[in-house]
Every structure is written in C-alpha cells, then in structure tokens.
Amino acid sequence: MSMRNWRLVQKRVLPLVALGLVLLLALWLALAPAEASLGQVVKLIYVHGALVWTGLLTFSLAGLLGLVALLLRYVLPGAGQRAATWYRGSRAAGLGALIAWIVYSLSAMLVTGLTWGQWIAWGEPRVQATAMILLAAVAAAVVIRLVDQRDFTALVNIALGIAPWVAVTRVEAIRHPVNPIGGSGSTSIQGFYFLIVLTVAGLAATLVAWLWLRAEE
C-alpha cells in the first residue's frame, strides 16, 4: 500500500471507525440493564471493567510488538527494515496503553466516588496498584522519549507487558469486588458487558493503529 493510502486510512478511515465504535458503545450502555442495588451506576462499572482489561491487553500488545521487533532484528538476517516498523508499532502501542490506563484511572475515581463516596480510595490495594502502574507507565514513556533507542523501547515495553498483570492479579481486595460482573447471575448483564469490553478494546486498537500509521509517515 502506498503512503498516500496509509494517510487516507489514518486521517479518514480510522476516525470514522472510532466514531462508529463510540456510537456503538453508547448504544450498548443505553440498552444494558441496570442493577438492583447500584441502579444505573452499574453502567459506569461496565466501562470501568472494560477499561482495565483493555489497558492490560494494550500493555501486552506493546510488549509483544517489541519482542517481534527484537527477534526480527537479531534472529532473522536481513529483516532490519521490517524490524523498524515493528519497533514503531511497539512504541505506538505503549503510548496507547498509557492513554487507556489514564482513562481507566479516571474511571476508577468516578466509580469509587459514586459508589463509596470516596473519590480516591487510597486504602484499597487495587487503587494503589492502579496508581503504581500509572506512575510506572508515565515514567517509562518519559525515559523512552529521552533515551530514544529502539531496543531500549522494546525491552521496556516487554517489561510493562508483564508487570501490570502481576500487580493486578496478585493484589488483595478489601472493599473492591474481585469480579463483580463476571460473578453476576444475570446473563443479560454478562452479555452486554462482553459487548462493551469488545467495543472499548476496539477503540484502543483503533488508537494504536492511528498512532502507528502516524509514526510510519
């Protein structure tokens, strides 16, 4: 595909895809059922849960692309040019993961404020883990920009593709439910939650693709 076509995809196609996904997300939220005790607030929890999965998966995507780039450069002879594209993809996915995690962190404040009456529930280990991952991702983004070395970027993204999963899965829960949606007995709630997760993940993938194509220019 020519560079002109890539620019067309980046500037026109991907924004239209993102708009369609936003409208689809709004539709799922409008149709999704409320919950007996939380009422309509549970719809924010749908998005909040979708964001944490999306953030974790996007961190992993950045690490996977970084690993592919390193393998292409050092294992496969003559693949240096292709490796450069994957390096740029890893960097784009890393930035996309940071953006997704920032939005997730803001959603956590909104959800805890509306459900617990506490905007930053610092005593909750899950909140502490979220903050530590955010600080690590911001620090990594700054260092990556300062160092500006492809192998270093790939290695940092590989580390960030693993560490957040460890932090989230091993942390204890005090007030935060372990799996509030997955543990629901309502197939309707679980079904709409699945659709919301897919849609939010699609938005993140669209953002990563847009950043990647922008870097390719």
Please write the tens of the pLDDT for every residue from 102-126: 999 999 888 888 776 777 777 788 8
Asked if residue 76 has pLDDT above 90, the reply is: no
* Residue 137 domain boundaries: 42-216
Q: Which residues pair with 39 in a beta bridge?
A: 35
* Residue 190: per-residue pLDDT: 84
Do 197 and 50 contact (CB within 8 A), yes or no? yes
Residue 11 lies in a domain: no
* Residue 178: per-residue pLDDT: 57
What pLDDT band is residue 171 in, cutting at 50, 70 and 90? confident
List, in order, residues 6 or more apart from 77 with CB less than 8 Å away.
Answer: none
Asked if residue 206 has pLDDT above 70, the reply is: yes
Please write the tens of the pLDDT for every residue from 20-75: 999 999 999 999 887 656 667 778 888 998 999 999 999 999 999 999 999 998 88
Residue 175 lies in a domain: yes
* Residue 97: per-residue pLDDT: 97
Q: What is the arithmetic mean of pLDDT over 149-167?
A: 95
> What is the pTM assigned to this prediction?
0.90
Residue 145 lies in a domain: yes
Please write the tens of the pLDDT for every residue from 194-204: 999 999 999 99
Instruction: Report the C-alpha gap between 54 and 70 in whole angstroms.
Output: 24
Domain count, the chain: 1
Residue 85 lies in a domain: yes
- DSSP assignment string, 52-69: HHHHHHHHHHHHHHHHHH
Residue 199 lies in a domain: yes
Backbone angles phi, psi at 181, to 5 degrees: -80, -45
Residue 106 lies in a domain: yes
* Residue 177: per-residue pLDDT: 59
* Residue 98: per-residue pLDDT: 97
Residue 33 lies in a domain: no
